[in-house]
C-alpha cells in the first residue's frame, strides 16, 4: 500500500463537475493498493498518517499532527501510484490491485482512518474520473509505502 500525503490549506474532488469532497486545513491522501496489501498494512498506515507531525506548532516548526490540529482529510484511490516505468515510455499498472481486491481494502482504509481521527473522512469515488484541486501548504508532500515499514 502506497500513500502520497499532502498537507493542504484546502482541497476538493469533483466528478462530472460536481464537488464530492471539500476540506480546508488537513491532508489530501492519494492511496494506491496492490494485491498483497492486508488489514495489517491498513492499521499501520492509518495510524502513521494520523500521527505524522507535519503541521506547524506555535513556533512554526513541523511538530504537530492532523489529530493535534483537528484537521480534515480526503482520501482518493489512485492506482497509478504503482506504475512501473522500467520498460519503454508507457507506464504499466500490472502491480495495482484489481477492483475486487482494491475496493474492500480502500473502504477499510477509510473506515480505519475515521476511527483514528474520530471523525468523518471525505473521499473521491473509486474508479471515477476525478478532478482533484489542492493548495499544497508548505509545500509538504510525504510518500509512505507499507512495504518499507520494516
**Distance between CA 58 and CA 47 in Å, rounded?**
24
Report the half-sphere exposure of 90 (CA within 13 A, side-chain side).
1
Helices (H), 1-68: 39-51
Q: Is 80 a catalytic residue?
A: yes
Neighbours of 86 (CB within 10 A): 6
Q: Catalytic pick from 38, 46, 80, 123? A: 80
CA-based nearest residue to 28, from 15, 9, 53: 9
- Write the DSSP symbol of residue 121: -
Write down the residue that cell numbers 500500500 correspond to. Answer: 1
Sign of the dihedral defined by the CA atoms of residues 61, 67, 69, 71, in that order: positive
Active site residues: 80
Amino acid at each position: 500500500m502506497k500513500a502520497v500525503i499532502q498537507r493542504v490549506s484546502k482541497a476538493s474532488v469533483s466528478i462530472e463537475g460536481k464537488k464530492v469532497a471539500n476540506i480546508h486545513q488537513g491532508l489530501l491522501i492519494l492511496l494506491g493498493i496492490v494485491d498483497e496489501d492486508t488489514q495489517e498494512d491498513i492499521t499501520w498506515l492509518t495510524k502513521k498518517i494520523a500521527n505524522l507531525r507535519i503541521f506547524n506548532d506555535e513556533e512554526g516548526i513541523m511538530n504537530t499532527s492532523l489529530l493535534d490540529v483537528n484537521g480534515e482529510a480526503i482520501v482518493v484511490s489512485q492506482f497509478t501510484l504503482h506504475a512501473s516505468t522500467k520498460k519503454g515510455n508507457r507506464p504499466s499498472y500490472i502491480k495495482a490491485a484489481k477492483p475486487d481486491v482494491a475496493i474492500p481494502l480502500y473502504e477499510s482504509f477509510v473506515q480505519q482512518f475515521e476511527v483514528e481521527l474520530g471523525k468523518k473522512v471525505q473521499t473521491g469515488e473509486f474508479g471515477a474520473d476525478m478532478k482533484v484541486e489542492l493548495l499544497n501548504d508548505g509545500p509538504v508532500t510525504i510518500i509512505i509505502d507499507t512495504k518499507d515499514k520494516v
